[in-house]
């Protein structure tokens, strides 16, 4: 029997315990032994819960128990998750986590410690919830030079944008509905300001390049400035707006960003709606592949954690090489990336289009009825070039990067 401990008995932690129980026979077959949850670490008591007799409040109980071969971290945040995970690895225990903040901030160090102690630090569930994408990057796609990873990596923001797109709701109304359904936190800043997506694309970029990525170096723009009016234009144009976390790698140059992007119906991520996630990976030999599924949720995320448990316990005495090294990857400045731009401008198109084209060059004009404004779609230019040109034009109300 293999004994493990779960740290944090919230949504994901309780889901891990549930998956291990409900699928215990197939898990035992794949591990080659029965997997037993010996401890559940939490500050709370859980009277009447199936895990009631496993609850402990002192981490040292887990750390010092040599029969515990693996620790599952589902507490979230950095403290006490980081010191507890570090201590677990140093005690010779495998660790699996769903905590993207932990992996983005301390992944390099924790991977090194795992290697030093011949154990494994796995984090499949930290990106994409239940979607397998971390493991494919170092197994199925191991022979590829990854040229791009672009994903819809946050279910909360995708739900909000879908409601604005399909139901014509305002940002505020869609956010409130997401909160009522439990998709968004009471304080939704990490989601709507793009920070959650930023950490995830940092992890994916590190996996793709094999080098450490400082998520604070990634340009990050959320969805709070996207309006229902933007989606009225998008509908007229046959497009939509999605929050992308993207990393483009070419000739040693890496561009990474988080931002809303307007895309057409032929884009692989166009049909990824509601709380679902989609991740596009381009390899130099394979071309484009897509990973799609539930990007969050109790059991989908727990399923990814359990996959890590199986992988670790199958390699009980073996360190699996994966992750990245300590060399810090240079992320190029946002102003050197090229896009087309959707721009909303105050005024009447017939009276201003020549002025606009004198600034931006040839543009496509889009008009809606009964509006005191119009929109244009520019040709492709660098972000720096756009900013220089935009300063020469008055009345700009909105700018959204576009790729179609």
The catalytic residues are: 200
Tokens of 247: 């990393």
d(CA 402, CA 239): 10
d(CA 369, CA 360): 24
Asked if residue 373 lies in contact with residue 350, where contact means CB atoms within 8 angstroms, the answer is no
Nearest to 275 by CA among 297, 246, 305: 297
d(CA 383, CA 246): 15
d(CA 297, CA 156): 11
Prior bond of 286 cis (ω within 30°): no
d(CA 310, CA 73): 15
Q: Give the burial class of 321: count Cβ atoms within 10 A of its Cβ; 0-12 exposed, 13-18 middle, 19 or more buried.
A: exposed
Q: Give the burial class of 116: count Cβ atoms within 10 A of its Cβ; 0-12 exposed, 13-18 middle, 19 or more buried.
A: exposed
d(CA 310, CA 35): 9
d(CA 163, CA 177): 9
SS3 content of the chain, % helix, strand, coil (to 5): 40, 25, 35
- Residue count of the chain, please give it: 404
d(CA 125, CA 136): 13
d(CA 120, CA 4): 14
Give residue 293's region: left, alpha or beta (phi > 0; psi -120 to 50). Answer: left
- Report which secondary-structure segment, H or E, holds 254: strand 253-264
Helix or strand or coil: residue 236? helix
Q: What is the DSSP string of 353-383?
A: HHHHHHHH-S-EEE--TT-SEEEEEPPPEEH
């Amino acid at each position: 029997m293999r004994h493990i401990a779960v740290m944090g008995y919230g949504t994901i932690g309780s889901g891990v315990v549930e998956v291990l129980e409900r699928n215990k026979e197939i898990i035992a077959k794949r591990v080659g032994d029965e997997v037993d949850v010996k401890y559940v670490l939490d500050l709370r008591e859980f009277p009447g819960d199936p895990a009631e007799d496993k609850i402990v409040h002192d981490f040292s109980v887990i750390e010092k128990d040599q029969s515990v071969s693996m620790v599952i971290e589902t507490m979230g945040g950095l403290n006490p998750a980081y010191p507890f995970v570090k201590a677990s690895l140093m005690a010779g225990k495998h660790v699996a986590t769903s905590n993207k903040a932990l992996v983005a901030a301390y992944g390099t160090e924790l991977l090194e410690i795992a290697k030093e102690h011949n154990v494994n630090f796995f984090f499949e569930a930290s990106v994409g919830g239940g979607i397998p994408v971390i493991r494919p990057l170092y197994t199925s796609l191991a022979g590829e030079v990854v040229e791009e990873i672009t994903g819809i990596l946050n279910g909360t923001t995708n739900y909000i944008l879908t409601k604005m797109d399909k139901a014509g709701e305002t940002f505020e109304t869609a956010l409130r509905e997401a909160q009522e359904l439990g998709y968004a936190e009471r304080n939704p800043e990490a989601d709507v300001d793009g920070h959650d997506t930023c950490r995830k694309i940092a992890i994916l970029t590190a996996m793709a390049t094999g080098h450490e990525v400082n998520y604070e170096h990634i340009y990050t723009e959320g969805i709070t400035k996207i309006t229902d009016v933007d989606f009225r234009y998008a509908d007229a144009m046959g497009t939509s707006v999605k929050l992308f976390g993207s990393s483009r790698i070419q000739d040693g140059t890496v561009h990474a960003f988080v931002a809303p992007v307007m895309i057409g119906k032929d884009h692989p991520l166009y049909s990824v709606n509601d709380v679902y996630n989609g991740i596009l990976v381009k390899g130099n030999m394979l071309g484009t592949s897509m990973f799609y599924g539930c990007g969050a949720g109790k059991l989908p995320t727990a399923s990814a954690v359990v996959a890590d448990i199986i992988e670790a316990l199958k390699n009980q005495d073996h360190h699996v090489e994966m992750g990245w090294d300590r060399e810090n990857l240079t992320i190029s400045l946002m102003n050197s990336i090229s896009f087309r731009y959707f721009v909303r401008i105050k005024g009447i198109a017939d009276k201003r289009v020549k002025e606009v084209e004198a600034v931006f060059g040839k543009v496509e004009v889009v008009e809606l009825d009964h509006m005191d404004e119009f929109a244009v779609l520019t040709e492709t230019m660098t972000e720096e070039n756009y900013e220089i040109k935009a300063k020469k034009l008055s009345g700009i109300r909105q700018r959204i990067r576009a790729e179609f």
